[in-house]
DNA sequence: CCTACCGATCGGTAGG
DNA sequence: CCTACCGATCGGTAGG
């Protein structure tokens, strides 16, 4: 009766398999969309039976929700977490934008930003998936807006500017980088986003702002 | 043998049916995506047999391409055409942006901007549909960029600015209005886009620019 | 986690 | 534009 076993197998094999399924689901969904993935194709990729895959989730929708959740966690750690540890104010705000662009450049997901893709897929289809995609979008939007407000509070940004307006414009440049890069495959799109962001931030920066957001200069390529 | 008939029926019944199919396809696809529409569901909506729908197109892909083409024509006439008739320079450039926002506000398509939705759906799936969606995106991007260059040529905009950079930023604000409005259902998102666009244009406007792009002021709601 | 199976729906064809 | 039909695949279930 192996209760601890030999640690080589068994610890929580189910959880490992479940994670493997979610990894494959996220990879597939990034390219084809969360709705288009099918349990049968996942089973094929994973060399499992259909019902073997199915057994880990109560329904296709639960699988989709779990995959979105897994992608969101990956998004947070790849596109947000490092920047959130920076000093409040312009460093953190610029860090968030730059970290997001780096997440796009590193192609963390093969199909571009997973959150934007999923939001575009479900933005007009009411239901749990739309709700979850909206919540994921809010996770990001709130982080940006909080960083803007905090930059005003520490005195780096002029309080005359409307935080919602600045957050909207920063977000606009970031999501444009995603779709434009997928369209042109031209890395200068990232430079354009950085130029636009730097312009907005320097224009609103106060005298107390730390040597302004210099960042990696895009050069004149 | 009715050769001219009584004009009530018959002229080109096939073409009429085909158009009805495309209208339904565009409406469905705007909400659910071009890939998700099925010939069977279209037949149901149109009270036709599946093969009756199918007969007008050689394949599902051809139906999708035809629907995208129909949506593009509608996009051009609703979001571009009126603005393109305005005077070259800032009037036309501002007109294009404002017309696009109006197209979103009027909810020409129930699921937001059809071009952006379709591009997001196929941006990572190589094939004829991705190519057609990219071409549709270029139709719009080129119009904006040409309007920017033309505004420089007539002396309304400072030639120091990079046209590609300005076009990128205007486009960013426009597509952000689309996704943000679908997310929040808050019309202030359109105001934010207009404020950002006006800011960009006034900042680059020369002395010869016609009384600057005033536009409908968003008020302080 | 498997085999075996269900009804429904898919895109597409035959033949008229 | 129809009826009738095809093989393939879908999400999901039974039973182990």
| pLDDT class of B11 with cuts at 50, 70, 90 | low
| pLDDT class of B13 with cuts at 50, 70, 90 | confident
Q: Average pLDDT in the A38-52 region?
A: 95
Cβ of residue A59 lies below 7 Å from strand D: yes
Nucleotides in chain D near protein beta carbons (<7 Å)? 1-5, 9-15
Query: Looking at the partner chain, which of A36, A176, A195 has a beta carbon nearest the beta carbon of B171?
Result: A176
Separation CA B132–CA B209 (nearest Å) = 37
Which residues sit opposite A157 in a β-bridge? A205
| pLDDT class of B175 with cuts at 50, 70, 90 | very high
Axis-axis angle for helices B114-122, A163-184 (nearest 10): 50
Cβ contacts (< 8 Å) between B193 and chain A: which residues? 168, 172
Long-range contacts for A100-103 (Cβ within 8 Å, ≥24 apart)?
A100/A174, A101/A174, A101/A177, A101/A190, A101/A193, A101/A194, A103/A75, A103/A78, A103/A79
Phi, psi of A143 (to 5 degrees): -60, -45
Phi, psi of A135 (to 5 degrees): -60, -40
Residue of chain B whose Cα is closest to the Cα of A165:
B192
CB contact (8 A) between residue B120 and residue A125: no
User: If you measure CA to C1', which residue is closest to nucleotide C3?
Assistant: A49
Structure tokens at B213: 């792009």
What tens digit of pLDDT does each residue of A99-123 get?
999 999 999 999 999 999 999 999 9
Axis-axis angle for helices B163-184, B128-153 (nearest 10): 120
Cβ of residue A181 lies below 7 Å from strand D: no
Separation CA A209–CA A4 (nearest Å) = 57
Query: What's B190-207 look like in SS3?
Result: HHHHHHHHHHHHHHHECC
Structure tokens at B73: 């024509």
Q: Average pLDDT in the B174-189 region?
A: 98
Q: Assess whether pLDDT exceeds 80 at residue B220.
A: no
Cβ of residue B49 lies below 7 Å from strand D: yes
Q: How far is the CA of A67 from the C1' of D14 (A)?
A: 27
User: Three-state DSSP class for A102?
Assistant: helix
Cβ of residue A54 lies below 7 Å from strand D: yes
pLDDT of residue A11: 54
pLDDT of residue A14: 80
Separation CA A125–CA A136 (nearest Å) = 16
Structure tokens at A161: 């500017």
Cβ of residue B188 lies below 7 Å from strand D: no
Q: Assess whether pLDDT exceeds 50 at residue B8.
A: no
End-to-end CA distance of chain A: 67
Cβ contacts (< 8 Å) between B196 and chain A: which residues? 165, 168-169, 172
Q: Average pLDDT in the B166-190 region?
A: 98
Separation CA A198–CA B208 (nearest Å) = 28
Q: Average pLDDT in the A33-44 region?
A: 96
Phi, psi of B106 (to 5 degrees): -75, -5
Q: Average pLDDT in the B27-41 region?
A: 97
| pLDDT class of A217 with cuts at 50, 70, 90 | very low
Q: Give which of A106, A119, A124, A126 is closest to A175, Cα–Cα.
A: A119
| pLDDT class of B10 with cuts at 50, 70, 90 | low
- Total count of residues recorded for chain A: 221
pLDDT of residue B6: 37
pLDDT of residue A6: 37
Say which residues have a Cβ less than 8 Å from residue B74's Cβ, sequence separation at least 6: B26, B108, B109, B114
Cβ of residue A43 lies below 7 Å from strand D: no
Q: Average pLDDT in the B186-201 region?
A: 98
Cβ of residue A14 lies below 7 Å from strand C: yes
What percentage of chain B exceeds 90 in pLDDT? Answer: 87
Q: Assess whether pLDDT exceeds 80 at residue A214.
A: no
What tens digit of pLDDT does each residue of A154-195 get?
999 999 999 999 999 999 999 999 999 999 999 999 999 999
Neighbours of A190 (CB within 10 A): 21
Q: What angle do CA B182, A139, A110 make, to 5 degrees?
A: 80
Q: How far is the CA of A51 from the C1' of C5 (A)?
A: 12
- Interface check B218 vs A, CB under 8 A: no
> Where do the domains of chain A lie, and which CATH numbers do they carry?
1-58 (1.10.10.60), 68-220 (1.10.357.10)
CB B47 within 8 A of CB B131: no
Q: Average pLDDT in the B49-72 region?
A: 96
Q: Give which of A42, A9, A50, A46 is closest to A25, Cα–Cα.
A: A42
Separation CA B143–CA B164 (nearest Å) = 12
pLDDT of residue B15: 86
Query: Looking at the partner chain, which of B134, B188, B193 has a beta carbon nearest the beta carbon of A183?
Result: B134
CB contact (8 A) between residue A35 and residue B30: no
Cβ of residue B50 lies below 7 Å from strand D: yes
pLDDT of residue B212: 54
pLDDT of residue A220: 38
HSE, side-chain direction, 13 A CA sphere, residue B155: 3
CB contact (8 A) between residue B120 and residue A117: yes
pLDDT of residue B3: 39
pLDDT of residue A2: 39
CB B42 within 8 A of CB B67: no
Nucleotides in chain C near protein beta carbons (<7 Å)? 1-5, 9-15
Average pLDDT across chain B, whole number: 92
Q: What angle do CA A16, A132, B119 make, to 5 degrees?
A: 100
- The alpha carbon torsion through A143, A147, A148, A151 (nearest 10 deg) reads 170
Phi, psi of B155 (to 5 degrees): 85, 15
Q: Assess whether pLDDT exceeds 80 at residue B170.
A: yes
Which residue in A29, A64, A123 has the most chain B C-beta atoms within 10 A of its own C-beta, making it the best mutation to test that interface? Answer: A123
- Interface check B110 vs A, CB under 8 A: yes
Cβ contacts (< 8 Å) between A176 and chain B: which residues? 168-169, 171-172, 175-176
Separation CA B93–CA B150 (nearest Å) = 9
Q: Average pLDDT in the A131-140 region?
A: 98
What tens digit of pLDDT does each residue of A63-82 get?
999 999 999 999 999 999 99
Q: Assess whether pLDDT exceeds 50 at residue B172.
A: yes
Residue with the two structure tokens 């947070």: A76
User: Three-state DSSP class for A180?
Assistant: helix
């Amino acid at each position: 009766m192996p209760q601890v076993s030999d640690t080589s197998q068994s610890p929580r094999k189910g959880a490992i398999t479940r994670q493997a399924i979610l990894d494959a689901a996220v990879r597939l969904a990034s390219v084809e969309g969360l709705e288009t993935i099918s349990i049968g194709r996942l089973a094929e990729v994973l060399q499992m039976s259909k019902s073997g895959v199915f057994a880990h989730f109560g329904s296709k929708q639960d699988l989709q929700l779990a995959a979105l959740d897994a992608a969101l966690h990956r998004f947070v750690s790849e596109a947000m977490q490092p920047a959130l540890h920076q000093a409040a104010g312009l460093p953190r705000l610029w860090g968030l934008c730059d970290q997001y662009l780096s997440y796009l450049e590193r192609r963390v997901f093969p199909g571009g930003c997973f959150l934007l893709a999923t939001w575009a897929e479900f933005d007009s289809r009411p239901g749990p998936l739309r709700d979850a995609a909206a919540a994921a979008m809010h996770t990001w939007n709130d982080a940006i807006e909080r960083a803007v407000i905090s930059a005003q509070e520490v005195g780096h940004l002029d309080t005359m500017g409307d935080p919602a307006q600045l957050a909207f414009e920063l977000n606009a440049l970031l999501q444009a980088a995603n779709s434009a890069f997928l369209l042109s495959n031209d890395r200068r799109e990232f430079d354009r986003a950085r130029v636009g962001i730097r312009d907005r931030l320097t224009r609103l920066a106060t005298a107390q702002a730390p040597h302004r957001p210099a960042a990696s200069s895009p050069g004149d390529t």
